[in-house]
């Protein structure tokens, strides 16, 4: 595996073969690794990007305390068979005078709860797609709305990248793995379990939103909503647990693809 830090090095390191890209913000867990393994199984060249993208964080978000452990991430990516880890600096990705943004119109869910978030996500992903020129890009269902936004961008801007969505990896008790889980105290982690349990309760109910809200066990949600992603309907929610904001979703009907 190579670690490259400049866009020029990255271009030179890319061979001409079926390429898979796994965009991440690091602090790898089994969710990230499942995407890397899927990319490894399907593609000749697997590129993982590790970049805590400042433009997708709001002014009051957790950018400063976001977990970072590059040495560990390098070891895990290497063990997962990754060919290239692209770990650029913020200055590489946002050079002096940066002034171009991709704004995919989206409403509801994270789009409404975190204004500007998807602008940062779409912009960095378009840059990564342009740099790596992947055939397939791998994302987790956990961020289903992100998948919807990126598929919209790919269609609207004729990018020709297949956006693959893979199932959410969970701890045995049901909590979706997230780099942000490391912020949770033991008691907060117990409270956080209400989120996947409420979604599970809502999944097969006649009124999924009402059933999930009723099962939140005191957690105050930012939102509980049904979200359409391609042919799939998802029940999706975000909630604050202490100082940690968690999101999760389950498929109610159909297939995310
Ligand atoms: P992040 O580093 O949190 O930006 O996540 C990078 C990618 O990993 C995104 O496509 C996420 O949707 C995906 N991901 C995060 N958590 C999980 C999980 N528990 N299971 C599957 N994929 C995940």
Mean pLDDT of 194-220: 97
What confidence tens digit (pLDDT) does each residue in 14-23 have? 877 899 999 9
CB 178 less than 6 A from any atom of ligand 1: yes
CB 21 less than 6 A from any atom of ligand 1: no
DSSP state of 126: H
Nearest residue (by CA) to ligand 1, atom 17, is: 31
**Residue 12 confidence (pLDDT):** 83
Contact between 215 and 194 (Cβ < 8 Å)? yes
| Separation of CA 52 and ligand 1 centre (Å) | 13
How far is Cα 134 from Cα 157, in angstroms, rounded to an integer? 15
| Confidence bin at 139 (pLDDT 50/70/90) | very high
* pTM listed for this prediction: 0.95
Q: Of 9-23, 89-103, 201-215, give the lowest mean pLDDT range.
A: 9-23
Over 80: is that where the pLDDT of 201 sits? Answer: yes
Mean pLDDT of 208-229: 96
Q: Which atom of ligand 1 is closest in space to residue 32's alpha carbon?
A: 8
Query: What proportion of the chain, given as a percentage, has pLDDT over 70?
Result: 100
Query: Rounded to an integer, what is the distance from CA 225 to the centroid of its chain?
Result: 18
Q: Among this protein's residues, is 32 annotated catalytic?
A: yes
**Residue 142 confidence (pLDDT):** 97
Count CB-CB contacts under 10 A for residue 221.
17
Mean pLDDT of 169-189: 97
How far is Cα 232 from Cα 37, in angstroms, rounded to an integer? 24
β partners of residue 257: none
**Residue 256 confidence (pLDDT):** 86
**Residue 13 confidence (pLDDT):** 87
CB 24 less than 6 A from any atom of ligand 1: yes
Mean pLDDT of 233-256: 96
Q: Which atom of ligand 1 is closest in space to residue 146's alpha carbon?
A: 12
Over 80: is that where the pLDDT of 218 sits? Answer: yes
**Residue 89 confidence (pLDDT):** 98
What confidence tens digit (pLDDT) does each residue in 59-85 have? 989 999 999 999 999 999 999 999 999
Angle at the Cα of 176 (from 122 to 29), degrees rounded to 5? 75
Nearest residue (by CA) to ligand 1, atom 18, is: 31
CB 19 less than 6 A from any atom of ligand 1: no
Nearest residue (by CA) to ligand 1, atom 14, is: 140
Query: What proportion of the chain, given as a percentage, has pLDDT over 90?
Result: 94
| Separation of CA 96 and ligand 1 centre (Å) | 29
Helix then strand then coil, % of the chain, to nearest 5: 40, 25, 35
Nearest residue (by CA) to ligand 1, atom 5, is: 24
| Separation of CA 97 and ligand 1 centre (Å) | 30
Over 80: is that where the pLDDT of 155 sits? Answer: yes
| Separation of CA 79 and ligand 1 centre (Å) | 18
Query: Rounded to an integer, what is the distance from CA 216 to the centroid of its chain?
Result: 23
| Separation of CA 140 and ligand 1 centre (Å) | 5
Cβ-proximal residues to 174 (8 Å cutoff; 6+ apart), any chain: 193, 196, 197, 200
Over 90: is that where the pLDDT of 33 sits? Answer: yes
**Residue 257 confidence (pLDDT):** 80
For residues 89-100, b (16+ Cβ closer than 10 Å) or e, as one string? eeebbbeeeeee
Over 80: is that where the pLDDT of 224 sits? Answer: yes
């Amino acid at each position: 595996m190579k670690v490259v830090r400049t866009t020029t090095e990255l271009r030179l390191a890319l061979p001409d073969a079926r390429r898979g890209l796994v965009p991440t913000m690091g602090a790898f867990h089994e969710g990230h690794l499942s995407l890397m393994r899927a990319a490894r199984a399907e593609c000749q060249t697997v590129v993982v990007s590790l970049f805590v993208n400042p433009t997708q964080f709001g002014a009051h978000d957790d950018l400063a305390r976001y977990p970072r452990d590059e040495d560990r991430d390098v070891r895990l990516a290497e063990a997962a068979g990754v060919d290239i880890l692209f770990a650029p600096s913020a200055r590489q990705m946002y050079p002096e005078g940066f002034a171009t943004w991709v704004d995919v119109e989206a409403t509801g869910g994270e789009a409404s709860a975190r204004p500007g978030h998807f602008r940062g996500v779409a912009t960095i992903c378009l840059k990564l797609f342009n740099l790596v020129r992947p055939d397939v890009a791998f994302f987790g269902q956990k961020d289903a709305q992100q998948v919807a936004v990126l598929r919209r961008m790919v269609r609207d801007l004729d990018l020709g990248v297949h956006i693959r969505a893979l199932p959410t990896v969970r701890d045995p008790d049901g909590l979706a793995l997230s780099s942000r889980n490391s912020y949770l105290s033991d008691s907060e982690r117990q409270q956080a379990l209400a989120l996947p349990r409420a979604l599970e309760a809502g999944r097969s109910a006649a009124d999924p939103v009402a059933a999930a809200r009723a099962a939140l066990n005191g957690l105050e949600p930012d939102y509980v909503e049904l979200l359409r992603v391609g042919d799939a309907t998802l029940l999706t929610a975000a909630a604050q647990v202490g100082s940690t904001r968690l999101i999760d979703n389950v498929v109610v009907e159909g297939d995310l693809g």
